[in-house]
Structure 1
Amino acid sequence: MNRIKQAFKDRLWLGVIIVGLFAGLIGGGIALGINNLVQHHEEVTSTRVPAGSNKSGGTKVNKNKADLNGEASQAYKSVQGAVVSVINKQKVQQSSGTLGIFGYGSSNGSNSDSSSDNKLETASEGSGVIYKKSGNSAYVVTNNHVVKGSNALQVILSNGKKVNADLVGADSATDLAVLKINATNVKTVASFGNSNSIVPGQDVLAIGSPMGSEYANTVTKGIISAKDRTLKAGTDGTLTSVIQTDAAINSGNSGGPLINMAGQVIGINSMKLASDTQGSSVEGIGFAIPSNEVVTIINQLIKNGKITRPSLGISMVDLSNVTSDQQQSVLKLPTSVSKGVVIMDVNSGSVADTAGLKKYDVITKLGDTQVTDAGSLKAALYKYKVGQNAKVTYYRDGQQHTATLHLTKSADTTSTDDSQQDNN
């Protein structure tokens, strides 16, 4: 009897548990369903385009909270009026007469030779900066490659006024040139800062006319990426020290100023690296001629109209262009010598001739500077002035020699030689 009662109790509790579980599941399901229904309603409500009037606009422009007189803005304003566009005009041959079946003929239909005249047209545009005003004249520094080959030059001032310009002097080795214009409309003159005092990471601005005068007085901001890079800055292959910056420099910026945040010109923008040796596109690598070098050159150009530098009176080729067999059989060089320049000709009565240098001598050092190619030889030579002495180290028939060069001869370096054989 007791066993029957206990079994009945067990079944009763089991039923209670099952009913409880079932009720819990039903309750949870209902709650979950209600929660999903609420979430779905909220989503639909929040994404549905509301009905009603569209006349509740009224958005307004708020007061500009940005600092409009920041360091960069002030630096730009202090120099902007001195930055100009430089227009290189060259002659274009044009024929007169009417256009016939076989070309231009005379206007009267005869077969006489057509007349022609020369018309000046814009060949290229660049930038420049006014750095000096003296009486009725103002002076502009720009790049030599901006004015090269010109038959006439014009300058567009910051106010848009176009004036004629005369070429005072140019130097191909440093790629610098000085122009003179009428100072009547010149209100701002830029000043130079000490380029020896700059540091990598320093903020700078580049100002000029990228892609031409249509974009005159464009300013870009960057930093000094490197203080002292050695590149071939001139058109004659001469190595020179330049400032590297990531401020955007494009075609037309050449000759414009690179300024610090005090508005001082610390460099003249000259070139950019567009691709590496593998042909990959390169961004943010531009170069400027340091202001200390600029001032030295433009002062000489103002005074003499050209730069006079020592000349050795030789023609030469890079040793790297001579085959290994010829280095051994003709030059008789030791295998330890792999860089230098080979003298191919010595002008009679020249500095090199007086010092006893001869054809096939291989120059490896000038003063304390190692000579690796023609560019490095010129860079080392141009550190000297006419009248000074320089020690040269060279190889002849496999033996090393030294000689003293009396730099009494000079050369006007405004001209260049584009042949394979370099001259100096």
Structure 2
Amino acid sequence: MVEKALPSVVGVNNYQASSSLSGSGSNEQEGANKLEVKLNDGTTLSAKLLGSDQWLDLAVLEIDDSKVKSVANLGNSDAVKAGEQAIAIGNPLGYLAIETLEKQGKIKRPQMGIVPQSLNQIPTASRQHDLNLPDTVQNGAVVLNVKAGSPAEKAGLQNYDVITELDGKEIDTAASLREYIFKHQAGDHITVTYYRDGQKASAELTLEDVSK
């Protein structure tokens, strides 16, 4: 399976000012003055950035396909049978976002207006001393920053609140928080369950649009 897909794997070089940097993430591609795609056979082609998304770490590039000899065949998850071998690559939301990036160059999505960090990335001592969390709270998303005028600020959320549920659904990490929010639309109302200074509380907020 891997050997079959290998000829379709490419590398991406971007050039910023006088230096050349290599990378595949969306942030690297956004800041590039020039982009090149290196095919598996060593051929280098100029590339055009059609769109990128920092949250999904996804960039869509366009190249001249006249020298492309191999294209990877993507499977259909609905057709996979129990016991069959399968490989999942990248963010589960990424594939769905590719068509939007190709057409619009960006993705419009709802936002709470916070900068979250996974609780499991916070040292245990800080969880107890700075966040004052009960020992029973082991997972969640810590609010590192609340943007002024955002839905989160309007709902009363503050820095260092620890979000553990959205609409009753358990939130384990910052990634699971984003994934839940991105499945909604601007204007949707959600209930946020969080801990502040050891006390459990909840708030209602209305999601708003953001395009970045």
Q: TM-score, normalised by structure 2?
A: 0.72
Alpha-carbon distance between aligned partners in 1 of 2:12 and 2:153, rounded to the nearest angstrom: 44
Q: In structure 1, what is the equivalent of residue 45 of structure 2?
A: 163
Secondary structure of the residue aligned to 1:349 is: coil
What fraction of aligned residue pairs are identical, expressed as a percent? Answer: 36
Number of aligned residues = 210
Task: Flag the structure with more relative contact order, 1 or 2, with Cα contacts below 8 A and sequence separation at least 6.
Answer: 2
- Which residue of 345, 351, 359 maps to 2:151? 351
- Give the aligned partner of residue 376 of structure 1: 176
Deviations 1:166-188 (A, max 9, x none): 11112233332211223555687
**What is the letter of the counterpart of residue 167 of structure 1?**
L
Report the equivalent of 1:327: 128
Contact 2:16 2:31 in 1 (8 A): no
SS in 1 for 2:10: strand
Are residues 1:85 and 2:10 paired?
yes
Alignment of 1:149-188 (within 5 A): 150-156=32-38, 162-183=44-65
Partner of 2:195, secondary structure, is strand
**Amino acid aligned to 2:22:** S
Question: Aligned partners of 1:155 and 1:305: how far apart in 2?
Answer: 19
Aligned partners of 1:409, 1:301: CA distance in 2, in Å?
Answer: 17
Change (3 A) 1:87 1:345: closer
Instruction: State the SS of the aligned residue for 1:289.
Output: coil
In our comparison, the structure showing a higher alpha carbon Rg is: 1
Matched residues in 1 for 2:116 and 2:22: separation? 33
Write the distance in 1 (CA, Å) between the matches of 2:132 and 2:123.
12
Distance of aligned partners of 1:333 and 1:389 in 2 relative to their CA distance in 1, 3 Å threshold: same
Cα pair 1:84 1:155 within 8 Å, conserved: no
After TM superposition, list the pairs within 5 Å mapping 1:221-232 onto structure 2. 223-224=85-86
Shift of 1:356: 2.1
The one-letter code of the counterpart of 2:59 is A
Cα distance change on mapping 1:200 and 1:143 into 2, 3 Å: farther
* 1:3-402 aligned within 5 A: 76=4, 83=8, 85-91=10-16, 118=18, 121=20, 123-124=21-22, 144=26, 147=29, 150-156=32-38, 162-183=44-65, 192-199=74-81, 201-202=83-84, 223-224=85-86, 243=88, 288-289=89-90, 293-320=93-120, 321=122, 324=125, 327=128, 331-402=131-202
Deviates more, 1:357-366 or 1:153-162: 153-162
Structure 2: 5+ residue stretches without partners: none
TM-score for the superposition, normalised by structure 1: 0.40
Question: How far apart, CA to CA, are the structure 2 residues paired with 1:386 and 1:124?
Answer: 36
- CA distance, structure 1, for counterparts of residue 49 and residue 182 of structure 2: 23
Residue matched to 1:134:
none
Amino acid in structure 1 at the alignment position of 2:45: V
3-state SS of the aligned residue for 2:165? strand
> Residue 311 of structure 1: CA displacement?
2.4
Separation (CA, whole Å) in 1 of partners of 2:25 and 2:143: 31
Deviations 1:289-310 (A, max 9, x none): 37x7444111111122122333
Query: Aligned partners of 1:180 and 1:325: how far apart in 2?
Result: 46
Q: Per-residue displacement from partner, 1:253-284 (whole Å, max 9, x unpaired)?
A: xxxxxxxxxxxxxxxxxxxxxxxxxxxxxxxx
In the TM superposition, residue 344 of structure 1 has moved relative to its aligned partner by 4.2
Quickly say closer, same or farther: Cα 1:367–1:377, change in 2 above 3 A.
Answer: same
* Residue identity in the other structure for 1:337: V
Instruction: Map Cα deviations across residues 360-396 of structure 1 (whole Å, 9 max, x no partner).
Output: 4321112343223333322332332333222211123
CA RMSD of aligned residues (A): 3.9
Q: List gaps (5 residues or longer) in structure 1.
A: 1-71, 93-117, 126-141, 203-222, 228-242, 244-287, 413-424
Residues 411 and 402 from structure 1, CA distance in 2 versus in 1: closer, same or farther, beyond 3 angstroms? Answer: farther
Cα deviations by residue, 1:209-255 (Å, 9 ceiling, x for unpaired): xxxxxxxxxxxxxx43xx7xxxxxxxxxxxxxxx2xxxxxxxxxxxx
